Structure 1
Amino acid sequence: MSEMINNREYRRKVLKDLITDLHNGKSVDEVKQRFEDTFSGVSAAEISEVEQALIMDGMPVAEVQRLCDVHAAVFKGSIEDIHRPKEASEVPGHPVHTLKNENRALERLIEKNIKPHLEKLSNDRAEAVKLLRKDLELLSAVDIHYKRKENILFPYLEKYGITAPPKVMWGVDDEIRALIKKAETALDDTPAVAAAAIREATDKINEMIFKEENILIPMMLEQLTEDEWEKIYNDSDEIGYCLIDKPVAWKPQGKEAAARKKENAGQEGALVFPSGVLTLSETRCILNTLPFDITFVDKDDTVKYFSEGRDRIFARTKAVIGRKVTNCHPPASVHIVEKIIKDFKDGKKDHEDFWIKMGKRYVFIRYFAVRSEEGEFLGTLEVTQDIAPIVSIGGEKRLVEP
């Protein structure tokens, strides 16, 4: 038993040393041989532990992210199968089946459309550019795939203390989003520049598919319960699907129809305010009817509540409840969130505003410090609204429309 533990610790140390060597500038070829000599296989869980250790030792998330593609190349073909029954995840409708189905659709788009159309660039540029624009528009739907991963899957890993891989993967997702936009712009450049930009984006997507199916999915299958997979399934419609139709209905095998009414039931009762009395149902409906979205983060930086209006600007699912707010944002913008909350806690500010263009929408994002009557900091309220219709108002309107 002690020999197994010592061997595992040794493997973990070597694995960490290899990634550190890459970080310090060694090439993949220089470390690959040592990896192959030392390991007959490495689990997704061990990769996760190594990334966690690197970040805990002070290596910035961005540095681990920079290594992500390199160590994936080293590990490729060496990740052992996680010994867990896979039948459930192969059933249509299961969230893992859906993720893989989307990956197959992305691979088909790249192999059957994008690559053949790239070959035409040198001969019939005008037609090739027209086809590739349509291809890249379809490819940009990968954003939906990544949003579902970031907003629904990652929170469950975080609940099990697995935080480094989601942060690293989210950073790479953002890189891919940027590369697709870069490829769309490059179509106006020379065929060589356009082809290089498109290949860079598709190569990165293929690498992410490998990481999802050989690192992320095995890790989640190892940790998550059937109840959690069912919650993921129930939340997925909120964000949508990438290049596939809505999956068929799915429930965990052996699940009884009467299970867990308690979670969604919610007691109807009176809520007494200084200015009136409302039932729970009335309160919920009022909050969901407000012409803006609200999200409340408590004093411990944990997401406690969000409104469920009909046309939310930013996707929210119930998986976000209980999640640390810093894990709800891309690594590149976490420092902004942390600064706002720190200023609120320190009493330096009571609100902070931002406004950004998102297609036809003009999004006004406001953050407010929520304080008790005694001035105690209770949390942060985010208010998000599309103000484009308001900005366009002119003249007067005094009559009711028929």
Structure 2
Amino acid sequence: MSEFINNRKKQIQNMTNRLTILKQTFRDIHNGRNLDEVKGHFDAFVGSITIDELGELQHDFEKEKFISTEDLMRIYHQHSDIFNGKMKDEASNASKPEEQPGHPVHTFKLENREIEKLIETQLEVHLKQFMNDDRVDRILQLLEDINLLLDLDKHYSRKENLIFPYLEKYGIFGPTTNMWRINDFIRDAIKDAKQKLVHYTGDKQSVIELLQFVIQEVIGMIYKEEHILFPMALKNFTEDEWVKIAHESVEIGYCLIAPAEEWKPERKGLDEKEMTEGFIKLETGILSLKQLELLLNHLPIDITFIDQDDVVRYFSHGKERIFARTKAIIGRTVQNCHPPRSVHVVEELLADFKAGKKDSEDFWIEFKDKYVYIRYFAVRDEEGTYVGTLEFTQNIAPIKMINGEKRILS
């Protein structure tokens, strides 16, 4: 027994030592130490890194706030050069469901190959031509490439709305926050490049730098997904969770290519019912659960409810949702359902509701072909105690066009 305890202590000590060295590796990059020296030290004293170790390091840096967000992202880019080829393949001898056509990871990787192909055979080629000659046909070629690359939004949205929530349920937060920030930078850079080309004024260098940034970041993100994010998810998620992710991916859509086929694990399907039998007695009537859900889903609006702890508890599921919602957000904090750059707005609004400073807040935006009216209401009980927030979203473009009268008899 004492031998077992001593061995366990040694294992814990070894793990602590490894994490200390790995953390110092990141700090060395942050402090500007020569990358060759960092690599040499890493190879000599560590030599490999596991998915769990990397996730723990990212979580520690985020918690300590020793390294700024900007520097953390810079390190996140550069550690690929250090750890490339060093990541332990802990599942190398195990079955690999991600290789099955239709599995969400298989589809993500198919998309990555198409993204790489688009960059290598079109965008990079056309960018070099544009660098030599920025005539109109070169600009149009780049615009065609960028329009295809905008499809990345679906790829990133599936990560953010399906993969990230499940990771957070397992207590893994580092990759989700950092990747979402980088995703947004990539989205913005692609849109900026498009605008500069649509309204081209001869600022060739600005366009070149933007597109070079896009290419670098997109390729870097592919590495991070396939060597960090996907292995981490595959290690933690259950088969049932992957089935749900595959099913809900359809609602968000795919990037450049569709799944090879529908994924059907070699087992019985999920034994879940869409509804639970029973009735709910309300103050002004009685409805079955089936009737209540159908009623809510037939409203010409989208509603989402979060509880007093900022946890998403419900959203309606109408035929034409304005903003994508997936079942993975249920049980997730609302802060983690928004891009990091807009979280402060959400938190300020909720703080006002909880403090009783406000009972509602309205916003309206143009979104694609819609004019969206977004309303937030503080939900309080009979005694005025805050119990949550209701989000109400509606496309009011058709309503704005109404004039005159249309009576029911007409």
TM-score of the two chains, using structure 2 as the length reference: 0.91
The equivalent residue for 1:369 is 378
Cα shift at 1:315: 0.6
CA distance in 2, matches of 1:197, 1:208: 16
> Are 1:208 and 2:221 matched, yes or no?
yes
Residue 256 (str. 1) matches residue 268 (str. 2): yes
Structure 1 residue aligned with 2:406: 397
Between stretches 190-199 and 242-251, larger displacement belongs to 190-199
**Retained in 2: the 8 A contact 1:28–1:70?**
no
| Counterpart secondary structure, 2:313 | strand
Give runs of aligned pairs for residues 284-363 of structure 1, distance below 5 A. Answer: 284-363=293-372
Is the contact made by 2:21 and 2:46 (CA closer than 8 Å) also made in structure 1?
no
- Residue 184 of structure 2 aligns with which residue? 174
2:168 aligned with 1:158: yes
Q: 1:62 to 1:341 in 2, by over 3 A?
A: farther
Aligned to 2:248: 235
CA 1:391–1:24 in 2, change beyond 3 Å: closer, same or farther? farther
Residue type matched to 2:394 in 1? Q
Contact 2:134 2:204 in 1 (8 A): no
Question: Please, what is the CA RMSD of the aligned residues?
Answer: 2.0
Counterparts of 1:370 and 1:249 in 2: how far apart (Å)?
41
State the secondary structure of the residue aligned to 2:182.
Answer: helix
Question: What is the Cα deviation at residue 32 of structure 1?
Answer: 3.5
Query: Secondary structure in 2 aligned to 1:168?
Result: helix
Deviation at 1:351, TM superposition (A): 1.2
TM-score by length of 1: 0.93
Matched to 1:226, the amino acid is: E
Given that 1:183 and 1:198 are in contact with CA atoms closer than 8 Å, whether structure 2 keeps it comes out as yes
Worse-superposed segment, 204-213 or 330-339: 330-339
SS for the counterpart of 2:276 is: coil
Specify which of 17, 23, 26 is matched with residue 16 of structure 1: 23
Structure 2 counterpart SS, 1:73: helix
Deviation at 1:247, TM superposition (A): 4.0
2:291 maps to which residue? Answer: 282
Identity over aligned residues, as a percent? Answer: 46
Give the C-alpha shift of residue 129 in structure 1: 1.1
Offset at residue 101 of structure 1 (A): 0.4
Task: Decide which of 267, 275, 285 is 1:266's aligned counterpart.
Answer: 275
Task: State how far apart, in whole Å, the 1-side matches of 2:134 and 2:345 are.
Answer: 47
Aligned residues: 397
Change (3 A) 1:377 1:230: same
**Given the alignment, which residue of 72, 78, 85 partners 1:77?**
85
Q: How far does residue 61 in structure 1 lie from its aligned partner after superposition?
A: 4.9
Return 263-272 or 222-231, whichever deviates more.
263-272
Q: Determine the structure 1 residue equivalent to 2:118.
A: 109
Structure 1 gaps, min length 5: none
The Cα offsets for residues 243-283 of structure 1, whole Å up to 9 and x where unpaired, read as 01244111222x125x51xx324223222222222222221
CA distance in 2, matches of 1:380, 1:22: 43
C-alpha contact 2:275 2:290 (8 A) present in aligned 1: no
Shift of 1:28: 4.0
